[in-house]
Amino acid sequence: MKYRDLQIQTQREFPSNMRTQGFGWLIRAGYITRENELLPLGEGVLERLRALSNDSSFFLHPFESLRATLSLPIISNDTETYFPIATGSLEVANCSSCNYTARIELARFAKTALPQEEQLPLEKVLTPDCHTIELLTSFLNVPKEKTAKALMYTRLPDNKFVFAVVRGDMQLSEAKLKKQVGDIRPATVEEIVKSGAAAGYASPVGLKDALIVVDDLIPGSQNLVAGANETGYHLKNTNHGRDYSAEIVADLAQVKLGNACINCENALDVISALPLATRSEIFFENILLALAETHHDDKGLAFPKSAVPFDVYLMHIAGKELDTRAKAEELYNTLQSAGISVLFDDRNERAGVKFNDADLIGCPVRVTVGEKGLQEGKVEMKARNTKENQLVALDEIVPTLTK
Ligand SMILES: [Zn+2]
């Protein structure tokens, strides 16, 4: 393709709306617009990626394909592959030791049970204005892990009242709860009252018609402080099995930074990430951003060969005696006939402008047709990732590029 036909517009400055380095380089090199729409160069990368993904091994092993072929620093599990990036749309828990990886809402982790205690008698205590775990723990001077946190929902579509309990030092993962009970919405005040609970002072003790679901730490945790289902009061020493029983005991807690890995107990990281592939879908535009984020230097993009829109950046430098442009055009046709994809910079621009654009766009090889070389029947060849040029005889170019 010819530079002018593609209407490539490179930018000298990073855009003001630059979210990440890679995003900025894609705009400067003319792969996408500032509004994040694909331009012909960006389309070219996606075409290459689609061709790669047609290989059946890609879906079987997207992680290996993306890592080995595209040299992307990625993390993955059996079903999804992610690229860590601060602007990522997802949060993922990741173990740097064994590579356990999962979206945070479903990530499992090794929980630490509290020391076993004798069950003490239930005791109703006055706890005015203690409608949060924070207020309650400071008022009663108990640690958060000695409290039971209540969350109330209504199941769709049968309107079953769902009462979930996690230890007070943990957060409920709604995604984990939904896996157990199906789709839910927050319960209304009327529904809470009807079940016999009290918002801010709720516990599963003495409820009517409630589906009680507790985190798997709760049955082994004795003497937890929980609501008395009466505004202004809590119960000390509630015990699962004695004071109430859950229909479902399951992992309901959401992972936090530093929780222990379920496989190796190493401290988990929680990182922002972009999804690149699932078992049934590939997010090509996310891969384009991951490529730009990973493969650039201070001059522009430098993608791996299997992802570049063109193999060769061909340009001419205007001569005084020889028609370098005509010779470049001839070479352009020769290379295309040999099956090499070429971006021919056919503009009458200064050499420096074209060199800058070649570095920005980042084709693996730049071929320059200049008067001095032509007088010896040679052109200049330079790889994107080296500083050195080499002079190559015209009839040696195709063999050199295809070897
Ligand atoms: Zn681990």
Question: What angle is formed at CA 349 by the lines to CA 319 and CA 296, rounded to 5 degrees?
Answer: 120
- How many CA within 13 A on the CB side of residue 328? 29
Examine the pLDDT at 392 and tell me if it is beyond 70: yes
Contacts of 128 (CB under 8 A, 6+ apart): 232
Residues surrounding ion ligand 1 at CB below 5 Å = 95, 97-98, 100, 261, 263-264, 266
- How many CA within 13 A on the CB side of residue 402? 14
Strand partners, 149: 166
Question: What confidence tens digit (pLDDT) does each residue in 208-262 have?
Answer: 899 999 999 999 999 999 999 999 999 999 999 999 999 999 999 999 999 999 9
Separation of CA 67 and ligand 1 centre (Å) = 20
Query: Terminus-to-terminus CA distance in the chain, angstroms?
Result: 22
Q: Counting Cβ atoms within 10 Å, is residue 162 exposed (0-12), middle (13-18) or buried (19+)?
A: buried
* pLDDT band with cut points at 50, 70 and 90 for residue 403: confident
**Comparing 71 with 177, which gets the higher pLDDT?**
177
* pLDDT band with cut points at 50, 70 and 90 for residue 64: confident
Separation of CA 89 and ligand 1 centre (Å) = 23
Distances (CA, A) of 274 to 118, 155, 227: 48, 31, 40
Q: Amino acid identity of 176?
A: K
Q: Amino acid identity of 26?
A: L
Mean pLDDT of 271-298: 94
Torsions phi, psi of 400, nearest 5? -65, -40
H-helix or E-strand spanning residue 215: strand 210-215
Mean pLDDT of 275-284: 90
* Token pair listed for 377: 């029947």
Separation of CA 270 and ligand 1 centre (Å) = 13
Rounded to 10°, the helix 40-53/62-70 angle is 130
Residue 131: the pLDDT is 87
Examine the pLDDT at 75 and tell me if it is beyond 70: yes
Cβ atoms of 30 and 41 closer than 8 Å = yes
pTM: 0.86
Torsions phi, psi of 343, nearest 5? -105, 110
Separation of CA 259 and ligand 1 centre (Å) = 11
Separation of CA 333 and ligand 1 centre (Å) = 55
Question: What confidence tens digit (pLDDT) does each residue in 186-197 have?
Answer: 999 999 999 999
In terms of Cα–Cα distance, which of 173, 164, 169 is closest to 197?
Answer: 164
Examine the pLDDT at 102 and tell me if it is beyond 70: yes
In terms of Cα–Cα distance, which of 313, 346, 339 is closest to 398?
Answer: 339
Residue 60: the pLDDT is 65
Separation of CA 108 and ligand 1 centre (Å) = 11
Separation of CA 393 and ligand 1 centre (Å) = 55
Question: What confidence tens digit (pLDDT) does each residue in 112-147 have?
Answer: 999 999 999 999 999 999 989 999 999 999 999 999
Contacts of 131 (CB under 8 A, 6+ apart): 199, 200, 201
Question: What angle is formed at CA 69 by the lines to CA 64 and CA 70, rounded to 5 degrees?
Answer: 105
Torsions phi, psi of 191, nearest 5? -65, -35
Q: What whole-number distance in Å separates Cα of residue 153 and Cα of residue 36?
A: 39
Residue with tokens 């379920």: 262
In terms of Cα–Cα distance, which of 366, 402, 401 is closest to 382?
Answer: 366
DSSP 68-87: HHH----EE-SSEEEEE-TT
The number of residues making up the chain comes to: 403
Question: What confidence tens digit (pLDDT) does each residue in 148-174 have?
Answer: 999 999 999 899 999 999 999 999 999
* pLDDT band with cut points at 50, 70 and 90 for residue 21: very high
Torsions phi, psi of 392, nearest 5? -125, 135
> What is the DSSP-derived secondary structure letter of residue 121?
P
Separation of CA 46 and ligand 1 centre (Å) = 34
Q: What whole-number distance in Å separates Cα of residue 150 and Cα of residue 172?
A: 9
Torsion over CA: 125, 130, 135, 139 (sign): negative
> What is the DSSP-derived secondary structure letter of residue 347?
-
**Comparing 29 with 18, which gets the higher pLDDT?**
29
Strand partners, 267: 260
Separation of CA 258 and ligand 1 centre (Å) = 12
Mean pLDDT of 352-381: 96
* pLDDT band with cut points at 50, 70 and 90 for residue 59: low
* pLDDT band with cut points at 50, 70 and 90 for residue 78: confident
DSSP 183-237: SEEEPPHHHHHHHT--TTS--STT-SSEEEEEETTSTT--SEEEE-SSTTEEEEE
Q: What whole-number distance in Å separates Cα of residue 137 and Cα of residue 193?
A: 24
